Chain A
């Protein structure tokens, strides 16, 4: 593993068993993440897009070991996370944090802001109460809140402010890598922009690496350096953001990106409508998982599953149309 790579996923699978019957025998699996390979460079923002239920949130959780992967390996800062001892994993895990989608359910309603942000510090250090208070105050200021918010409860804040508290909590342990799981989806547009800018500032200040999960393509375009497009538990295309928005290769990505509205009424756009339904993750289609809905499908798409291969410089795609 190269030094520039902070995280690397190798053949990562996350299957959730479906149990049925009185003996809870495993009847089938939900293949939420199916054989995913990629790496994240230190200091970059790696975007992960896909429609609802394609497994992008699960992938984020799997990478930081909130749900250990069913199969495959995750490397973090040079360590194989499935191969190290529990205590080492505990320590390493503190370098990986997460900011959640729904700010109202990600904060304990019975704790004050100081307790919420102070808790990670309290658990992982032997600092005295006053020192923790000082640290919390500093964190609050970093995310654009101040002293007066310290002793309030989460229900007294707006969505954007709650999200800031969630960010402060994630920052409390000085992490290197943060999974941002649709952190702006629950916020209105004006607040979204502020939070996105906060992420950018924090990244510069603390030298953070982000995995940014979202279904909002304009957000991805704004914030990420590289993007992976997920479909039915697989990465179908992976490329630097600029390149991807200039030239998409996978038919799914093409259809996805043409949906971004352009704020100009004179431009007439042709919409490619993807027909059919999102495939079931329990019984995904054979071969390429997109083939039942693909406008350009060929006979072999049904038979053989395409591999993720590099077409151009750092532009990967999993499709039989290429090379």
Chain B
């Protein structure tokens, strides 16, 4: 029994290995996870020194002859080491991704399964509500929610989670609609299974694959949106080293020649989003039941 389970996993791993871009994406994400976990040991400086070392304000990094020592990527306007802030920022961005998508997953699965499995008016009602949420631009809605429940990183995560849950619900619903027509679901009714048992034992486990793939892709957008909220000053509050907030704080100094303060956080965002997108695409190729025979 155990041997068989392993071979199935091994098969998945083998198929994953063939997918070069997915492996690359996974490596990028693993690096970020590593940085986030060991930030305390890797970061050369304190990301939020207090009081600020204003004498080091906006010093360039390794590429310049008068670069500041100890901060290879230079410093921002408050003299804080950008590299250290980016490394600590990985913690925040990744947790934003996980928490926001986690909220979206939980809400989306509940809504999607209920709508898809019970159908009829339940489906119509839930999907119309989802349509209403859909009709707002995601970021705008997130701003509205943040404005309602208050600013801060935790609020931003909740807002993004809520904004994303309709998409997740849609994906889950379509997947459930497909699974519920399977004959093994009908067989469950014939042997006297109750609805809850059918849903939890048969419908949900078999409809998760597309949702899981989608959530990796969504994590990338969640990080972007959190950065955008940070940029607008609605997400992470200073001095939290959040990538979007860093970008926002430093953008004014690009014109004064201090391009590094805004560029490197931007590159960090790109790397995280790229890694998650590549990983998500790869996972879809491997897990999507319709691509598998």
Q: Is A172 an interface residue (CB 8 A)?
A: yes
Q: Given known contacts A110-B205, A152-B4, A156-B4, is B182 in contact with A105 (CB within 8 Å)?
A: yes
Docked complex Cα distance between A93 and B197 (Å): 17
Beta-carbon contacts under 8 Å, A32-86 to B: 61, 64, 66
In the complex, which residue of chain A has the Cβ closest to the Cβ of B8? A153
Q: Is B191 an interface residue (CB 8 A)?
A: yes
Is the pair B189, A100 in contact by a Cβ cutoff of 8 Å?
Answer: no
**List of A residues within 8 angstroms of B182 by Cβ:** 105-106
**List of B residues within 8 angstroms of A144 by Cβ:** none
Is the pair A97, B191 in contact by a Cβ cutoff of 8 Å?
Answer: yes
Is the pair A90, B184 in contact by a Cβ cutoff of 8 Å?
Answer: no
Among B8, B186, B206, which residue has the most Cβ atoms of chain A within 10 A? B186
Q: Is A225 an interface residue (CB 8 A)?
A: no
**List of A residues within 8 angstroms of B206 by Cβ:** 108-110
Is the pair A151, B4 in contact by a Cβ cutoff of 8 Å?
Answer: yes
CB < 8 Å neighbour of B190 from A24, A97, A151? A97
**List of A residues within 8 angstroms of B191 by Cβ:** 94, 97, 119-120, 123-124, 169, 172-173
**List of B residues within 8 angstroms of A105 by Cβ:** 182-184
Is the pair B184, A106 in contact by a Cβ cutoff of 8 Å?
Answer: yes
Is the pair B4, A107 in contact by a Cβ cutoff of 8 Å?
Answer: no
Q: Is B193 an interface residue (CB 8 A)?
A: yes
A65 to chain B, nearest CB (A): 9
Q: Given known contacts A151-B1, A156-B4, is B187 in contact with A106 (CB within 8 Å)?
A: yes
**List of A residues within 8 angstroms of B192 by Cβ:** 90, 93-94, 120, 123-124
Number of B interface residues at 8 Å Cβ cutoff, please give it.
19
Q: Is A98 an interface residue (CB 8 A)?
A: yes
Docked complex Cα distance between A96 and B186 (Å): 13
Docked complex Cα distance between A102 and B193 (Å): 21
**List of A residues within 8 angstroms of B184 by Cβ:** 105-108
Q: Is B202 an interface residue (CB 8 A)?
A: yes
Docked complex Cα distance between A109 and B184 (Å): 9
- B interface: dominant SS: helix
A140 to chain B, nearest CB (A): 15
Beta-carbon contacts under 8 Å, B213-265 to A: none
**List of A residues within 8 angstroms of B4 by Cβ:** 151-153, 156
Q: Is A112 an interface residue (CB 8 A)?
A: yes
Docked complex Cα distance between A8 and B258 (Å): 87
Q: Given known contacts A24-B124, A100-B183, A153-B4, is B202 in contact with A108 (CB within 8 Å)?
A: yes
Is the pair A96, B190 in contact by a Cβ cutoff of 8 Å?
Answer: yes
In the complex, which residue of chain A has the Cβ closest to the Cβ of B206? A110
- A interface: dominant SS: loop
Among A101, A108, A112, A169, which residue has the most Cβ atoms of chain B within 10 A? A108
Docked complex Cα distance between A323 and B183 (Å): 42
Docked complex Cα distance between A108 and B204 (Å): 12
Is the pair B187, A102 in contact by a Cβ cutoff of 8 Å?
Answer: no
Docked complex Cα distance between A173 and B191 (Å): 8
**List of A residues within 8 angstroms of B197 by Cβ:** 123
Docked complex Cα distance between A124 and B188 (Å): 12
Docked complex Cα distance between A66 and B186 (Å): 7
Is the pair B187, A169 in contact by a Cβ cutoff of 8 Å?
Answer: yes
In the complex, which residue of chain B has the Cβ closest to the Cβ of A104? B183
CB < 8 Å neighbour of A123 from B1, B183, B193, B205? B193
**List of B residues within 8 angstroms of A119 by Cβ:** 188, 191, 193
**List of B residues within 8 angstroms of A110 by Cβ:** 205-206
In the complex, which residue of chain A has the Cβ closest to the Cβ of B289? A109
Q: Given known contacts A93-B192, A108-B206, A120-B192, is B186 in contact with A98 (CB within 8 Å)?
A: yes
B185 to chain A, nearest CB (A): 9
**List of B residues within 8 angstroms of A101 by Cβ:** 183
B121 to chain A, nearest CB (A): 9
Docked complex Cα distance between A219 and B182 (Å): 26
Docked complex Cα distance between A92 and B223 (Å): 55
A67 to chain B, nearest CB (A): 10
Beta-carbon contacts under 8 Å, A149-181 to B: 151-153, 156, 166, 169-170, 172-173
Docked complex Cα distance between A203 and B124 (Å): 46
Beta-carbon contacts under 8 Å, A94-152 to B: 94, 96-98, 100-102, 105-110, 112, 119-120, 123-124, 151-152
In the complex, which residue of chain B has the Cβ closest to the Cβ of A153? B4
Is the pair B205, A100 in contact by a Cβ cutoff of 8 Å?
Answer: no
**List of B residues within 8 angstroms of A97 by Cβ:** 190-191
In the complex, which residue of chain A has the Cβ closest to the Cβ of B292? A155
Among B1, B187, B193, which residue has the most Cβ atoms of chain A within 10 A? B187
B81 to chain A, nearest CB (A): 49
* Chain B positions 162 through 191: 1 when the CB is less than 8 Å from some CB of chain A, otherwise 0: 000000000000000000001110111111
**List of A residues within 8 angstroms of B183 by Cβ:** 100-102, 105-106
Docked complex Cα distance between A156 and B5 (Å): 11
**List of B residues within 8 angstroms of A108 by Cβ:** 184, 202, 206
Is the pair A112, B1 in contact by a Cβ cutoff of 8 Å?
Answer: yes
In the complex, which residue of chain B has the Cβ closest to the Cβ of A94? B192
Docked complex Cα distance between A152 and B183 (Å): 20
**List of A residues within 8 angstroms of B193 by Cβ:** 119, 123
- Which residues of B line the A interface, CB within 8 A? 1, 4, 8, 124, 182-184, 186-193, 197, 202, 205-206
**Further 7 A-B residue pairs, CB within 8 A, beyond A96-B190, A98-B190, A120-B192:** A93-B190, A97-B190, A100-B187, A112-B1, A124-B191, A153-B8, A172-B191
Q: Can you identify 6 A-B contacts, CB atoms within 8 angstroms?
A: A90-B192, A100-B187, A102-B183, A105-B182, A156-B4, A169-B187
Pairs A-B, 9 closest by C-beta atoms: A151-B1, A120-B191, A106-B183, A100-B183, A108-B184, A105-B183, A105-B182, A98-B190, A110-B205
